[in-house]
Chain A
Amino acid sequence: GQNIDQPTEMTATEGAIVQINCTYQTSGFNGLFWYQQHAGEAPTFLSYNVLDGLEEKGRFSSFLSRSKGYSYLLLKELQMKDSASYLCAVTNDYKLSFGAGTTVTVRA
């Protein structure tokens, strides 16, 4: 079975840093994706991790520990436009299993 957990909601202030955690227990693992989804829109790709460690891409970074079944997405220098849902997804044989998503609200 697949079990992917992430917090339901987080709130942060503009300019701050927020870390969204994701833990997973899955029957297979070929990598972990993070997607961003604004309200009423399609999910869009943010990052991919397959090896342990940190992947940095501008203001966004993603970390993976395969032995712990753990990942986080770090959003730095938060902007109002970062208010969205962030979806953690584990891939196995080209199929994605998603967590329920974390809604991040950025306040001025």
Chain B
Amino acid sequence: DVKVTQSSRYLVKRTGEKVFLECVQDMDHENMFWYRQDPGLGLRLIYFSYDVKMKEKGDIPEGYSVSREKKERFSLILESASTNQTSMYLCASSLGLAGVQETQYFGPGTRLLVL
């Protein structure tokens, strides 16, 4: 089974802090993704990566950056946390092939509260 893990289930941070969210997958997947999930808005793509050291902006990249130094690890960075970044953050990975193999596997999520 694919396993995607995230470093924290819950985080509380203060406005202006730098926040790191870590994601690790154990299935040698090429693609990794960061989403945020808010009530009524669904999952929105922040950034994704299709290879080590490669990254692409998603739909809502403002206020975020990412790092992928190793294939299995994809980090999301909030440079200066703000209250409107309070959300559930979900990491996902996929094989990088077409069709049903595009299936994304999700981590358990990190619920971030910015005060």
Contact = CB atoms under 8 A, between A and B. Distances in A.
Given A94-B31, A95-B58, A43 B41 contact: no
A31 B102 contact: yes
A33 to B, nearest CB: 7
Q: Binding site of A, secondary structure by majority: helix, strand, loop or mixed?
A: strand
Nearest to B97: A94
Interface stretch (A63-71, A73-81, A97-105): A97-105
Contacts of A13: none
A56 to B, nearest CB: 15
A74 B56 CA distance: 35
Contacts of A31: 99-100, 102
Contacts of B42: 87, 98-101
Interface stretch (B70-78, B79-87, B105-113): B105-113
Contacts of B19: none
Contacts of B64: none
Interface residues of B, number: 27
A42 B99 CA distance: 22
A44 interface: yes
B109 A48 contact: no
A43 B35 CA distance: 12
A19 interface: no
B72 to A, nearest CB: 18
Interface of B: 4, 31, 33, 40-45, 48, 50, 58-59, 90, 94, 96, 98-100, 102-109
Interface of A: 8, 30-31, 33, 41-45, 48, 50, 87, 89, 91, 94-101
